[in-house]
Chain A
Amino acid sequence: MSGKTLSTGQVENVHKKSTSGVLLSIAAWIVGLLFVSPVLWMILTSFHSETDAAKNPPAFGAPLTLDGYRSFFDAGPWPPLINSVTASVVSTLLVLLLAFPAAYALSIRPVKKWSDVLFFLLSTKFLPVVAGLLPIYLFAKKVGMLDNIWLLILFYTVMNLPIAIWMLRSFLAEVPVEMLEAAEVDGAGLVLTLRKVVAPVVMPGLASAALICFIFSWNELLFARVLTGTVSQTAPVYLTGFVTSQGLFLAQVCAASLVVSLPVLVAGFAAQDKLVQGLSMGAVR
């Protein structure tokens, strides 16, 4: 090494960098493929016949069929799927409706001690939901709301409210005060101000909040299992009851899991950048 001229050393350095760069890129691809492979396997298996799905070694090239999907949809999954859509969509809308004014009152026209309110909201997320399971169950039983989708909607709304308020607040805090003042001086009404000044800044935040609230309510299992029965059970609850001990069911289970995950997969892929904002409650953009 010492005998070489400086320029050769530099050339060698660049060369070394590019080979290690290629290796790192290959490593990234391998890791990515490893992480996605269970999902790819799930997709492939869902299109196999039950006999092919249960083969060892795995029959990667087995003929494709829709039998798994057929038996899943023949088992009557629509009521739970519709319940899931209702619970997550309605609760998400309610969250946004309640969180937006609340975030407004914590940023643009802040109440006194607004930071205490924010930390109180965060602390409710530290309270594991399971600690509230019994009282909510007993309350529902008493007022006759067990197996009622509206109880689940109410619970999901409150479960996601603190996250949504945190997130929307972090966006609202960026609304330029000067513009708000100017709008006020010009005599613009509240609606006009909201539409022209606030909305452009907050729309991405609303989208992230909606995405994350939708995913969390769609995924929820514990409360749905305890609070719902045959009428209002959601898709995740339905999935847990889907596995039977008799016969082969792997292709069916894969088809069912894929169908139930599809809304979250589509929403998540479509809004990848929103996912980070949402998951970090607006702390990371």
Chain B
Amino acid sequence: MTTTPTKGAGVAETEKRSNLQRSGDWARRMPLLPAMVLVFLVTQLPFLFTIGASFMNWNAYYPDERRFNGGANFKTVLTDPAARKAIWVTVLLTAAVVLISLFLGLIIALLLDRKFFGQGIVRTMMITPFLVVPVAAALLWKHALYNPEYGLFNGMLTKLFGENAPQPDWISEHPMWAVIFAIVWQWTPFMMLILLAGLQSRPMDVVEAAKIDGASSWQIFRSMTLPHLRPYMELSGLLGTIYVVQNFDHVFTITGGGLGTANLPYYIYTTFYTGQDYGLASAAGVVVVILTIIVSTVALRTVFSIFREEQR
């Protein structure tokens, strides 16, 4: 669907440049080769290996029992409660983080897309969370913010409401939300940056004309700004999905995969690293890949078709 215009433009571009192309095909391929060979060797080949290993009974603790076992690993991944839970956690975590940070990112981008005192400073402040190394950010949230005894959240509660203020244990009481908000804090700036760039590329003369014609801010937002922002929202949502699906740092650091927050990357890590079950870990890896493809195409498309209908 989206490839057609690109290809069309590509043909025109190729024709335009055709008089530059007198050298042979191979001379033209040479600069591309090293990169392509490396990408193939390091991303495609291992994945083919993973697919192969996913159909094998292969545990490093029992090297003698290594053999083909059909779809048994996939059966385990789809029936084992821990593995099923990991799939569900991955979907929930990714959807929650991407939707919340996209929503917050949109609102904040709209707030920052106005001229006001200290605009640059506020923008810089907003970017800061994204520039904290993920492990460091996860440590910060776990120890300096969430900790029930000396974390800033409970500290502020004591400061505001005195000695008898509630002192919840944020991580053990709401483990999923604890992880989700720590990631949302880092990804909202990302969404905001891309959406802000989108807002600033709006053709302002059209907006001015609409204003003169008496369109309200809400009308302008709904019928002009939102449609213009759609590709930017799709792009940031898609990129966010790709990265958040793979999140390991926050789950590993904040809950150590406990309290029902182990997602698929964490599950694969423990199955492979601690359990040494190479076959099962590979099958789970194949599932993540399939899941990523589904989430990044179907889910996003659904979200935006809802969006489009609302605009009517």
Which A residues form the contact surface with B (CB < 8 A)?
21, 24-25, 27-29, 31-33, 35-36, 38-39, 41-42, 45, 53-58, 98-99, 101-102, 104-106, 108-112, 114-115, 117, 119, 121, 124-139, 154-155, 157-158, 161-162, 165, 173, 177, 180-181, 184, 215, 218-219, 221-222, 226, 235-236, 239-240, 243, 249-250, 253-254, 256-258, 260-261, 264-265, 268-269, 272, 275-276, 279-281, 283-285
Could you say which of A24, A101, A276 contacts B111, with CB atoms under 8 Å apart? A24
Given contacts A35-B185, A131-B50, 12 further A-B contacts (CB under 8 A): A31-B122, A31-B126, A35-B125, A55-B150, A98-B35, A117-B32, A126-B293, A133-B268, A257-B133, A276-B193, A280-B194, A280-B197
B: interface residue count bin: 35 or more
- The answer to whether B112 has its CB under 8 Å from any CB of chain A is yes
A111 to B25, CA, bound (A): 7
Could you say which of B17, B150, B269, B296 contacts A108, with CB atoms under 8 Å apart? B17
Total A-B pairs in contact (CB under 8 Å)? 309
Contacts of B28 in A (CB 8 A): 105, 109-111
- The answer to whether B237 has its CB under 8 Å from any CB of chain A is no
Contact B118 A29 (CB under 8 A): yes
Contacts of A127 in B (CB 8 A): 43, 47, 289, 292
Could you say which of A21, A41, A111, A260 contacts B144, with CB atoms under 8 Å apart? A41
Contact B139 A130 (CB under 8 A): no
A207 to B49, CA, bound (A): 35
Closest-CB distance, A168 to chain B (whole angstroms): 11
Could you say which of A101, A126, A249 contacts B32, with CB atoms under 8 Å apart? A101
Contact B272 A133 (CB under 8 A): yes
Closest-CB distance, B205 to chain A (whole angstroms): 20
Q: Which of B108, B132, B149 has the most CB of A within 10 A?
A: B132
Contact B130 A268 (CB under 8 A): yes
Contact B158 A121 (CB under 8 A): no
- The answer to whether B311 has its CB under 8 Å from any CB of chain A is no
Contact A257 B140 (CB under 8 A): yes
A276 touching B288 in the complex, CB below 8 Å, given contacts A45-B144, A56-B149, A257-B136: no
Contacts of B47 in A (CB 8 A): 127, 131-132, 135
Contacts of A105 in B (CB 8 A): 28-32
Contacts of B137 in A (CB 8 A): 257
Could you say which of A162, A221, A264 contacts B39, with CB atoms under 8 Å apart? A162
Contact B124 A269 (CB under 8 A): yes
The interface residues of chain A, by DSSP majority, are classed as helix
A121 touching B128 in the complex, CB below 8 Å, given contacts A109-B21, A257-B133: no
Contacts of A125 in B (CB 8 A): 242
Contact B269 A28 (CB under 8 A): no
Contact B116 A24 (CB under 8 A): yes
- The answer to whether B141 has its CB under 8 Å from any CB of chain A is yes
A54 touching B39 in the complex, CB below 8 Å, given contacts A115-B7, A218-B133: no
Contact A133 B269 (CB under 8 A): yes
Could you say which of A31, A139, A221 contacts B249, with CB atoms under 8 Å apart? A221
Q: B residues 268-301 with Cβ under 8 Å of A?
A: 268-269, 272-273, 278, 281-282, 285-286, 288-289, 292-293, 296
List the A residue with the shortest CB-CB distance to B2.
A119
Contact A56 B285 (CB under 8 A): no
Contacts of A173 in B (CB 8 A): 13
Closest-CB distance, B151 to chain A (whole angstroms): 8
Contact A276 B20 (CB under 8 A): no
A134 to B59, CA, bound (A): 12
Contacts of A114 in B (CB 8 A): 10, 14
Closest-CB distance, B51 to chain A (whole angstroms): 9
Binary interface profile of B, 59-99, with partner A (CB < 8 Å = 1, else 0)?
00000000000000000000000000000000000000000
